Structure 1
Amino acid sequence: MSDDRIQSRHGRPQMRMHRGGGWGRPGGFGMPVQKAKNFKATLWRLASYFRPHLLRLIVVFVAAIASTVFSIVSPKLMGNATTDLFKGVVAKMKGVPGAGVDFHDILHILVVLACLYILSSLFSYVQQYVMAGVAQSTVYRLRKEVNDKLSRLPLTFFDSRPNGEILSRFVNDFDNIGNTLQQSLTQLFTAIVTFLGVIVMMVTISPLMTLVVVLTLPLSFLVTKMIASRSQRYFVGQQKSLGQLNSHVEEMYTGHQIVKAFGHETKSIAKFNELNDRLYESGWRAQFISGAIFPLMNFIGNIGYVLVSVIGGILVTRRAIQIGDIQAFIQYTRQFSQPIMQLSSIANIIQSTIASAERVFELLDEAEETPEAPNAKTISDPKGEVQLQHVRFRYNPDVPLIEDMNIDVSQGQTIAIVGPTGAGKTTLVNLLMRFYEIDGGKITIDGVDITQLKRSNLRGLFGMVLQDTWLFKGSIRDNIAYGREDATDEEVVAAATAAHADHFIRTLPDGYDTVLNEEASNISQGQKQLLTIARAILADPAILILDEATSSVDTRTEVHIQTAMRELMQGRTSFVIAHRLSTIRDADLILVMNNGAVIEQGDHETLLAKQGFYADLYNSQFSLKESELM
């Protein structure tokens, strides 16, 4: 996905998400690798999280050295055993008196080899165990910092980014970092030590044969680079085709009813086949070309083995080295190419990991909410008096929205906010709850500037019922009780009864213990709305915010809810955002908004008498209903 910004209404910045994705661990030969914008700075910042674990990292490094050294020494000892066996057999064949194979000496070498392998495995276990603890502790600290950061970010951050992007940073990027720290770093240590140790052991056996093996390295690098660069474009095409295919499947799956309703099944299948064929073409080419790397590397390695065998044989005949040294050297030659391959793969993985870390650090560096005022106040006994004095606000500095708004709301009043889409109705509510910071003016509750209040106390003064319901996976009882932590079962039932939700709840198989799924799709939209209304009733707030609270229920239920809401709103200040003007006739004050400004205000009868903007809105809805009936 990309971070290409687009502008929503009011100039509010939002993000456009480009769908796509794929499977598999990054960093394979020829595969496109996500790279960090500032690799060095991000690497050092990530390394700073290792400081509390410095001692354990030293243990990991020492264990890696010990494990690798014990593993590297083993071929040399096996070569010595082979040499002793060969010498004994040759001497016996020549008829040397008392000559034979010294099985006691060979047995001693085998016992030493077994001990070395056991110690190598033991140190490898210690290395993996300790590094797993370091990796998980580091990722835990990072994840906790990001989680705490998300709670301090302003609403503008979440409005300007798709949920998928934030979840990707919180899930995928952390998994990438954790896997690399736990696996790839230990592999990196081991590969480096193995590479250096093998070179040392090869030089001690024969500098000439070592030079021959080293000379094959440039040829290996050249072949790898040629194939990787050629397969790169096919991997890019594969990822692109995979993203397009995923996007098509997702769209067809989520919109399958629309596809069937308009008879586009054949067209959808044809599109899928086209994308699938394109993915197949790119995929097999990418895999075929990149798969040629290993046979070619083996071919080059075999050339090295042949040269080593020929030169080694000549050196043995000249008694420059022992026969067992050739065996050991061939084993070292195999070990020599392995860390090179590992380092190449790990380099790509680390590039991807640093890119993931950079995305996490970008999140940690985001501007936070304006800090609370020193000695922030609380309102312990709220009345619900709200004033807006010369309030100014813009989502985009270049696009004016609210300019010089003045509203005076007394305790217990019901304030209806009406206007066309994009007039700024919901924005006004967000400003009241300080989800956004105003650019100028002042908003007070009970005479206290909201910037001087603790955010938790300020938002605790409000109860909200929105058009878009929000319920979590859990029982209906828990969802209603979310409005107040200390609510009793009797209070939950009473709130549900007041919201006219008790009856349908009791008809469910498990009643109040019925568990809603993650999207609460096992109840209807209207029933969801009733539960959110019950939650607001239970919260018993000083100020109510109702944003089209009854838009998803039937007419008869709406009448019952309106009755319950009127009882709930007694003595409470209420802000009602409404599109159906017939539902707010009894409001004490109606604010008519357009283009971010209050252009009219008054009660229902007064505004109708003015024959202005409100009257036009009301009459248009009335006329629309008449036309629908005819």
Structure 2
Amino acid sequence: MAHPKIGPAQEKPKDGKKTFARLMLYVAENRRLLVFITFLVIVNILSGLLSSYMMRPIINDYIIPGNLSGLAFMLLILLGIYIVGIVATNIEYRLLNVIGQKTATRIRTDLFQKMQHLPVSYFDTKQYGDLMSLYTNDMDKVSEVLTDNLADFITAALTLVGILAFMIYISPLLTLISLITLPLMAIFPMMIVKRSKSYFKAQQDSIGELNGFIEEKMSGQKVVKVFGAEKRVEADFEKLNDNLQKKAFKAQLFSGMMMPVMQSLITLNFVIVTIAGALLAIFRGLDVGGLATFIQFTRQWSYPMTQLATLYNNLQSAIAGAERIFGVIDEVPESADEKSSVAMDRACGHIEMKDVWFGYLPHKPVLKGVSLSVNKGEKIALVGKTGAGKTTFLNMFPRFYDFQAGEISIDGVPLKDLKRNNLRELQAIVLQDTHLFTGTVFENIRFGRLDATDEEVIAAAKLTSAHSFIKRLPQGYNTMLENDGTNLSQGQRQLLNIARSAVSNPSILLLDEATSNIDTRSEILIQEGLDKLMEGRTSFIIAHRLSTVKNADKILVIDDGQIVESGTHHELLSLHGKYYTLYENQFEEEI
């Protein structure tokens, strides 16, 4: 049979404008607050512009004629305008900060919720440090723009419009002259942004890669030290760190050009306006107050222009982070249940596999036409060399991966006809690597079934031989576990893992090297717990030590994705085939 084709993942196009627009859609969820903030922004800007424009009547009508009493009154009005502007600015920034934090929280929530619905295959291909970087570095960049820069961006943009309006009112001709440098102020930043955009994206990717490396090596420090690999790890770190430095240097090099270029153009504009304004005052009758006010507006014009350039530069870094975040949010989740999907209250555990094909990559099948029939309550052991496909075999049952061809059924119902969550509720998995969460022993065991009572948790611990060691802990079942339960031995952690599976009361049990890397004394205790847990349940067992599966009802020898031998321990030994060779080799190693 030709194995089915598995389509490659499609890379999503990156578009900075669409990413920014998408960020703004999140911001726009606070419409009413934004309307009020817009009003405050307008009040703030008008107060600044009016205070600047008042220079014209103050100079023309009060300073030049020497009207001191009128000047004092105008200064009081000016003070009032400043106070209004200060109050509006403070309220505006506080409210924008609220919107920024709410928006960042919403994006962070969407990201986390999406990750809970992504298939296991997604996490199998990602470094945890890189994923954590989404919540730290990338989210920080986005949050900074939303909480700090957004207010400045809006204010600067509207201030430019207001200044331009006042400049036109004072002198349309001088305004036209002052706009000579405007195309250059637009073109140069656009050129810089275009060049730096890809570098900012590369910088964010490099940060994620470096964080992934650090997380991996920090969690594996014992292995690093045992094998004396510190120098090698340091060298690898230096490579990644140097790569990040190069990417960051290029990003900051181009972004750093923004300010000098803008300052040069602003200075040139100021010189042109001053000369042209003086000539207009001499030959075209422009009043002195109008000239002074126009020059003041020209100087004010430079600040929002420079600010916009700087903020736009910051925005590129935030967009690069947002693209990575939205890239995860846009990932295809686990396939939804069909409307016709059904749920089982309880499964007997009769399992059928018919000509099942599966591969992680196109044209590279890992399981090749696997067929199998398992009766209720049978213990099925899977043995074979590393990479033969044993773990992949188990991954089919909870649908961590969907097979491409064939059929698997439980009690006659195809897996794909069962609701995915219900399917997983029928099963429990005990892995070689245990994962405990920050919380009490009660909470960690109850993770197997969140509505389990304390009595049910204790009963599960007793069933799996975990109760005795738990009672010896400082606070018993209320003992806090932190940092993946490092205050427990490996055997104790695995016993809690088994108790967690027991409290879920599964119909089907999947054990993947559950007693590997455990000392002999702990292994005996764990095996007792597993034996009690497997009673009456259909169980699949992957075991490195073949001595632990001799009593299995059926042993399957997996080789190159196929079941090449099947039978009891004694039946397979009598065949003198692959199982016999595996058993003899392991027996010799133990001797």
TM bucket normalised to smaller: 0.7 to 0.9
For 1:161 and 1:245, the matched residues in 2 are separated by 13
Note closer, same or farther for the CA distance 1:361–1:585 as it changes in structure 2 (3 Å cut): same
Q: Which deviates the most, 558-567 or 577-586?
A: 558-567
For 1:318 and 1:59, the matched residues in 2 are separated by 46
Q: Residue 81 of structure 1 corresponds to which residue in structure 2?
A: 58
For 1:278 and 1:583, the matched residues in 2 are separated by 48
Q: Which aligned pairs between 1:122-521 and structure 2 lie closer than 5 A?
A: 122-170=87-135, 172-207=137-172, 209-210=174-175, 213-215=178-180, 301=266, 320-521=285-486
Query: Residue type of the partner of 2:475?
Result: D
Identity of aligned residues (%): 40
SS of the residue corresponding to residue 548 of structure 2 reads helix
Cα deviation digits, residues 20-47 of structure 1 (max 9, x gap): xxxxxxxxxxxxxxx9723444455555
Q: Residue 15 of structure 2 corresponds to which residue in structure 1?
A: 38
Q: Which deviates the most, 128-137 or 256-265?
A: 256-265
Note closer, same or farther for the CA distance 1:79–1:168 as it changes in structure 2 (3 Å cut): same
- Is 1:67 paired with 2:32? no
The 8 Å contact of residues 491 and 523 in structure 2, kept in 1 or not, is answered as no
- In the TM superposition, residue 166 of structure 1 has moved relative to its aligned partner by 3.6
**TM norm structure 1:** 0.79
Cα deviation digits, residues 80-136 of structure 1 (max 9, x gap): 3344553244xxxxxxxxxxx432x22321222223223333443454455445545
Cα deviation digits, residues 402-448 of structure 1 (max 9, x gap): 23322111122111111111111111211111222222222221222
Q: Residue 96 of structure 1 corresponds to which residue in structure 2?
A: none
Query: Residue type of the partner of 1:38?
Result: D
Equivalent residue in structure 2 for 1:102, among 58, 68, 81: 68
SS of the residue corresponding to residue 483 of structure 2 reads coil
Unaligned runs of 5+ in 1: 1-10, 15-34, 90-100
For 1:149 and 1:362, the matched residues in 2 are separated by 11
Cα deviation digits, residues 208-238 of structure 1 (max 9, x gap): 6545544455676798799999999999999
Cα deviation digits, residues 294-325 of structure 1 (max 9, x gap): 57765665565566556656666779344444
Cα deviation digits, residues 480-517 of structure 1 (max 9, x gap): 22223333334433433443333433443333222222
Query: Residue type of the partner of 1:69?
Result: L
The 8 Å contact of residues 131 and 208 in structure 2, kept in 1 or not, is answered as no
For 2:16 and 2:201, the matched residues in 1 are separated by 22
Note closer, same or farther for the CA distance 1:580–1:260 as it changes in structure 2 (3 Å cut): closer
SS of the residue corresponding to residue 396 of structure 2 reads helix
Note closer, same or farther for the CA distance 1:142–1:226 as it changes in structure 2 (3 Å cut): closer
For 1:434 and 1:238, the matched residues in 2 are separated by 36
Note closer, same or farther for the CA distance 1:12–1:349 as it changes in structure 2 (3 Å cut): same
Q: Which deviates the most, 450-459 or 495-504?
A: 495-504
Q: Which deviates the most, 261-270 or 456-465?
A: 261-270
For 1:170 and 1:388, the matched residues in 2 are separated by 41
The 8 Å contact of residues 231 and 286 in structure 1, kept in 2 or not, is answered as yes
Q: Which deviates the most, 458-467 or 495-504?
A: 495-504
Q: Residue 593 of structure 1 corresponds to which residue in structure 2?
A: 558
Q: Which deviates the most, 307-316 or 113-122?
A: 307-316
For 2:365 and 2:334, the matched residues in 1 are separated by 22
For 2:410 and 2:205, the matched residues in 1 are separated by 53
For 1:548 and 1:253, the matched residues in 2 are separated by 24
Note closer, same or farther for the CA distance 1:41–1:412 as it changes in structure 2 (3 Å cut): same
For 2:455 and 2:475, the matched residues in 1 are separated by 17
For 2:542 and 2:232, the matched residues in 1 are separated by 43
Equivalent residue in structure 1 for 2:548, among 572, 583, 602: 583
- In the TM superposition, residue 598 of structure 1 has moved relative to its aligned partner by 0.9
Q: Which deviates the most, 226-235 or 554-563?
A: 226-235
Larger Rg: 1
Cα deviation digits, residues 239-294 of structure 1 (max 9, x gap): 99999998997788667667766778789889999999999999999989977875
Q: Which deviates the most, 115-124 or 448-457?
A: 115-124
SS of the residue corresponding to residue 403 of structure 2 reads coil
Query: Residue type of the partner of 1:440?
Result: A
Aligned-CA RMSD value: 4.3
Q: Residue 608 of structure 1 corresponds to which residue in structure 2?
A: 573
- In the TM superposition, residue 584 of structure 1 has moved relative to its aligned partner by 0.7
Note closer, same or farther for the CA distance 1:222–1:166 as it changes in structure 2 (3 Å cut): closer
Q: Residue 121 of structure 1 corresponds to which residue in structure 2?
A: 86
The 8 Å contact of residues 466 and 495 in structure 2, kept in 1 or not, is answered as yes
The 8 Å contact of residues 393 and 403 in structure 1, kept in 2 or not, is answered as yes
Q: Which deviates the most, 161-170 or 526-535?
A: 161-170
Cα deviation digits, residues 350-370 of structure 1 (max 9, x gap): 444444444444334333333
Q: Residue 92 of structure 1 corresponds to which residue in structure 2?
A: none
Cα deviation digits, residues 34-93 of structure 1 (max 9, x gap): x9723444455555556655554444444333321221111121343344553244xxxx
Q: Which deviates the most, 189-198 or 227-236?
A: 227-236
